[in-house]
Each structure stands twice: as C-alpha cells, then as structure tokens.
Amino acid sequence: MSGVHEECGVVGIYAPQGEDIVRFLYYGLLSLQHRGQEACGIAVTDTGRDELDVNCIKDLGLVSEVFSKETLAALNGNLGIGHVRYSTTGESVRENTQPLVLNYCKGKLSLAHNGNIVNTDELREELIRTGAIFHTTMDSELIAFHIAKNRVHSKSVEEAVYKTAKKLKGAYGLVIMSPKKLIAVRDPFGIRPLCLGRRGKTYIVASESCALNSMGAEFIRDIEPGEIVTITEEGITSNYKLKQETKAHCVFEYIYFARLDSVIDGIKVYDARIKAGELLYKRHPVDADIVTGVPESGIAAAKGFAKASGIPFDLAFHKNSYIGRTFIKPSQSERSIGVQMKLSVLEEVVKDKRVVLVDDSIVRGTTMENLVKMLKKAGAKEVHIRISSPPFMYPCYYGVDVPSNKELIATRKSAEKINETIGGDTLEYLSVEDLQETAKGLMICTACFTGEYKAGQKSNDNEG
C-alpha cells in the first residue's frame, strides 16, 4: 500500500461561558487512546481575549507521555480540539502530528482529522493550479488549505468547510476550530464515527461516545453522515448537509476498533460483539470444554459464543496491559515475540481441555499461530478457532490501518490452508451476511472483506 494509513481519534470542546476546557480535552484523548498510540496533540484558544491566539502542543507518544501536569498547566482556553494518531508505515513523523494550525484570512484555523481521503492528488493539483505552491501529500493538510482558500470567497467559515467537503472523497470525521467557532463534519457515507455531547453549557464533539462518558458529559446524538455542525456562542446550528443516498458505516469499528463501551450510530459496540459470537456458534457449532477469547479484542465475542453454546467461558490468557499493540512491530519475528510478551497461558485452565479460541480477526496470522502453539504446549487437547468477522482480504482506504495485500494471510490462502499454517483443529469465520446482522439495519462498509469500496478507491494504489 502506498501512503500513510492512519487510525485516529478526534475531540472538540467549546464552553461559551468561558470555562477552561483543557482538562476535558485531555480526558477525552485519554479515552480515545485505543484509536491511536503514535502521536497526539491539543490546540486551544480563549475566545474571551481580545487578541486571539492558538496554543498547540503536539508530539509523538501516548497522551500520558506528551501531556504532563506542567504542559497541561501551560495551556488554557474555552475552545479547543484534540487528536490521537496511529500510523503503521513504520516512520513516526513529528511533522504529521495533529491538530494542524495555520494562518488564514480570519486569523488561525486549526483542524484534526480521523479517516483517510482518497482523492488527494486531485485536491493537491487544484491548489497548485490556483497558484499555491504546495508539496504536501498529507490529506489533513490539503483539507485545511482548501478551507483557508475557500474562506476568502465565503460568508462564513462553515460555508468554506462545506465547499471543501463537497470535493472530498473518502472517510473523514473532522473537528475544526476557527477563532470563535467549533465545527464538526462527518463524511456523507458516515464511514468514521462522530458524536455530539454536552456537559452543562459546554458542547463536545468526539469520535466515540466513551470520550463523553470520561468527561461526565451526556450524549446528545451522532452527527449525521454528511452533516456540518457549527457550535458558537449562540449554541448549535446545522445549516449545511452533503447529500449521499448510500451510507457505508465502517463495520470494523464494531468488530475491533471502537471501545467496548461506546455506542455508534445507535448500536452498542458490546452488543454487536456479543451477537457476532452468538452467530458464530449458531453457524459453526463445536463440542468443547471451554470457550476463551483473545484479550481484549476477542473477549466479548467469546462471551457471546459461550452464551449461545452453553459451553463455559474461561480466561485462558493473562494479558500484560503495559505492552503496546503487537500489530505495529516491523518484523515478523519481533511480532511473534510481541504476542508472547503480551499474553501468557494459564495452564490450569486449558490442560487436557478442548478449547474454543475466539478472536475478532486474523490479519497476518501471527497472533493466532502463536496462541495456538502456546495453548497446545500448555496441554490443550484441541483448539477450535472461531473468528467474529469474515476473512480479511482487502486493504482499507478509509482510515483503518491494515498491512499490504501481500501480508494479509486470507488473500493468499484458503481458510483450510490458514488453519494448517496456524495449527488449529478447526477454523471458522463469520459470514458477511451475519456481520450485517450484528450491525442490525445499518448500511455498512465491508470493503476489507468484499473489496467493494463504496466511497471510492485510491487511484494511485495499485497493489490491490
């Protein structure tokens, strides 16, 4: 795959009464940390001051590493946005950290983006054509520059955002801060999540509802696909809407990516995962002594499987939570060591048992291969693998990081061959149809399983 593929989380807060919101931005980012562990940042302004300025602190690292008590104390304001970012190209680039802050005709414009734009070439060419000397390939920067350019001929910043959003193809959940406004935009397919909340008179926008809970805020509603929400001193307005008949909510949010306690587009992530586990048992039953899940990603689906089958759920692994996600390790041998460092088997739970092992997905196959070996070494008699999503076969162009096609094991091998490689007794996946059932009536994007990219495909990506 070419380009940097990102997974991110965004948050935006506006307290028109003037309350300092920095600590709430921090809490929000902490609770969105699962969406990106590579870098993070906060940009904040005080709308009460005559001379408006934006203070921005951003760096590589976890939220708790980048923001100490001292750095947080140096920031204050009543309007701000924040971002957590994760990319897997291997290069951690400080310049790519967000929020972006740039000067435009009305002062400073700040922006944070979750998702991935597929028509970056077009967007860049347009900027070059109109006279801007422009070399960036970063989609978020291209969006910010288009808004700044459009602002000159627009009556408001939200109109400039609307004109820009009409040109964007792909996935985006954006939070934008102009000197006195907070604007949130969700792509017309509704690929990435974005919701709205309130804490007293303070308004909050966040990638996931779990961020609202962490601030003691109440959930108001999801931002609708294609909706542009503007929050000012006067409150919330929603005057611009991008049209799109088809929706394509990312189903991987429910399978893996979102936090278990979030509710996205009316569906509880926990319920979707339990349902996936129940359906897995219904379609692929097996006789076994215990059901277990890969921590944390497979636990809820394993519970669903146990509930439907009546086979007791047990914890077969201890997880060392202080080690980052193994997925990002650059070499295969390091990835295997990563799995072993992160998870260890509880021998007394699995010895002489027939085990059902549930996880949300198989990407390269590293996790499963290692876990099956560990279970068998600890004396498990049989290991039956059940995956609560279909075979992962195609790259995501919309902001969920996946390795290139060549590394996706299901692109190269049938389920039978994968099972041989990872050493299971049986291996079964959930079907795309059943996945749809977990997301109830929602129109979902299943491109990573089907190759049907409803919101467009990256034109310069020919590894697909």
Tell me whether residue 121 or residue 463 sits nearer to ligand AMP (CB atom): 463
Query: Which one of 111-119, 168-176, 303-311, 359-367 is the stretch in contact with ligand AMP (CB under 6 A)?
Result: 359-367
270: CB partners within 8 A, 6+ apart: 260, 261, 300
Q: Which of 100, 147, 300, 362 binds ligand AMP (CB under 6 A)?
A: 362
Q: Which of 261, 327, 373, 423 binds ligand AMP (CB under 6 A)?
A: 327
Tell me whether residue 310 or residue 331 sits nearer to ligand AMP (CB atom): 331
Q: Which of 161, 195, 400, 445 binds ligand AMP (CB under 6 A)?
A: 400
Query: Which one of 148-156, 211-219, 272-280, 355-363 is the stretch in contact with ligand AMP (CB under 6 A)?
Result: 355-363
Do 29 and 40 meet the contact criterion of CB atoms below 8 Å apart? yes
As measured in angstroms, the least distance from the Cβ of 254 to ligand AMP is 13
**440 near ligand AMP, rule: CB under 6 A:** no
Query: Which one of 29-37, 356-364, 376-384, 431-439 is the stretch in contact with ligand AMP (CB under 6 A)?
Result: 356-364
Q: Which of 23, 49, 318, 325 binds ligand AMP (CB under 6 A)?
A: 325
Tell me whether residue 251 or residue 363 sits nearer to ligand AMP (CB atom): 363
Q: Which of 120, 361, 388, 419 binds ligand AMP (CB under 6 A)?
A: 361
Q: Which of 179, 285, 365, 464 binds ligand AMP (CB under 6 A)?
A: 365
Query: Which one of 96-104, 128-136, 242-250, 400-408 is the stretch in contact with ligand AMP (CB under 6 A)?
Result: 400-408
Q: Which of 208, 227, 265, 359 binds ligand AMP (CB under 6 A)?
A: 359
Please give the residues from 281 up to 300 whose contact with ligand AMP meets the rule CB under 6 A.
294, 297
The partner residues of 185 in beta bridges, in order of sequence, read 174, 228
Tell me whether residue 46 or residue 296 sits nearer to ligand AMP (CB atom): 296
Q: Which of 117, 160, 264, 402 binds ligand AMP (CB under 6 A)?
A: 402
Place of tokens 């390091």: 334
> 340: how many CB neighbours lie within 10 A of its CB?
14
Taking the C-alpha atoms of residue 159 and residue 180, their distance in angstroms, rounded to an integer, is: 15
Taking the C-alpha atoms of residue 447 and residue 398, their distance in angstroms, rounded to an integer, is: 10
Do 452 and 251 meet the contact criterion of CB atoms below 8 Å apart? no
* Catalytic residue list: 8
- Spacing of C-alpha 337 from chain mean position: 25
Site string for ligand AMP, 240-259 (x = CB under 6 A): ----------------x---
Taking the C-alpha atoms of residue 11 and residue 324, their distance in angstroms, rounded to an integer, is: 22
Tell me whether residue 48 or residue 324 sits nearer to ligand AMP (CB atom): 324
Taking the C-alpha atoms of residue 190 and residue 445, their distance in angstroms, rounded to an integer, is: 9
Taking the C-alpha atoms of residue 446 and residue 421, their distance in angstroms, rounded to an integer, is: 26
Place of tokens 């004396």: 379
As measured in angstroms, the least distance from the Cβ of 360 to ligand AMP is 5
Tokens in use for 148? Answer: 């700044």
Instruction: Give residue 411's identity as a one-letter amino acid code.
Output: T
**364 near ligand AMP, rule: CB under 6 A:** yes
Tokens in use for 374? Answer: 């560990």
Taking the C-alpha atoms of residue 433 and residue 147, their distance in angstroms, rounded to an integer, is: 40
Tell me whether residue 219 or residue 327 sits nearer to ligand AMP (CB atom): 327
As measured in angstroms, the least distance from the Cβ of 208 to ligand AMP is 16
Q: Which of 120, 202, 207, 367 binds ligand AMP (CB under 6 A)?
A: 367
Tell me whether residue 157 or residue 371 sits nearer to ligand AMP (CB atom): 371
Place of tokens 């394993």: 302
**316 near ligand AMP, rule: CB under 6 A:** no
- Which DSSP string do the residues of 3-64 spell out, in sequence order? S--EEEEEEEEE-TT----HHHHHHHHHHTGGG--SEEEEEEE-TTSSS--EEEEEEES-HH
Closest CA to 6 of 121, 85, 93: 85
Query: Which one of 149-157, 197-205, 396-404, 441-449 is the stretch in contact with ligand AMP (CB under 6 A)?
Result: 396-404
- Which DSSP string do the residues of 288-333 spell out, in sequence order? -SEEEE-TTTTHHHHHHHHHHH-PPB---EEE-TTS--GGG-SSHH
Number of residues that bind ligand AMP (CB under 6 A): 17
Tell me whether residue 124 or residue 329 sits nearer to ligand AMP (CB atom): 329
Taking the C-alpha atoms of residue 29 and residue 21, their distance in angstroms, rounded to an integer, is: 13
Query: Which one of 176-184, 209-217, 227-235, 364-372 is the stretch in contact with ligand AMP (CB under 6 A)?
Result: 364-372
- Which DSSP string do the residues of 333-367 spell out, in sequence order? HHHHHHHHHHEEE-HHHHTT-EEEEEES--SSSHH
Q: Which of 222, 401, 428, 434 binds ligand AMP (CB under 6 A)?
A: 401
The footprint of ligand AMP (CB under 6 A) covers 256, 294, 297, 325, 327, 359-367, 400-402
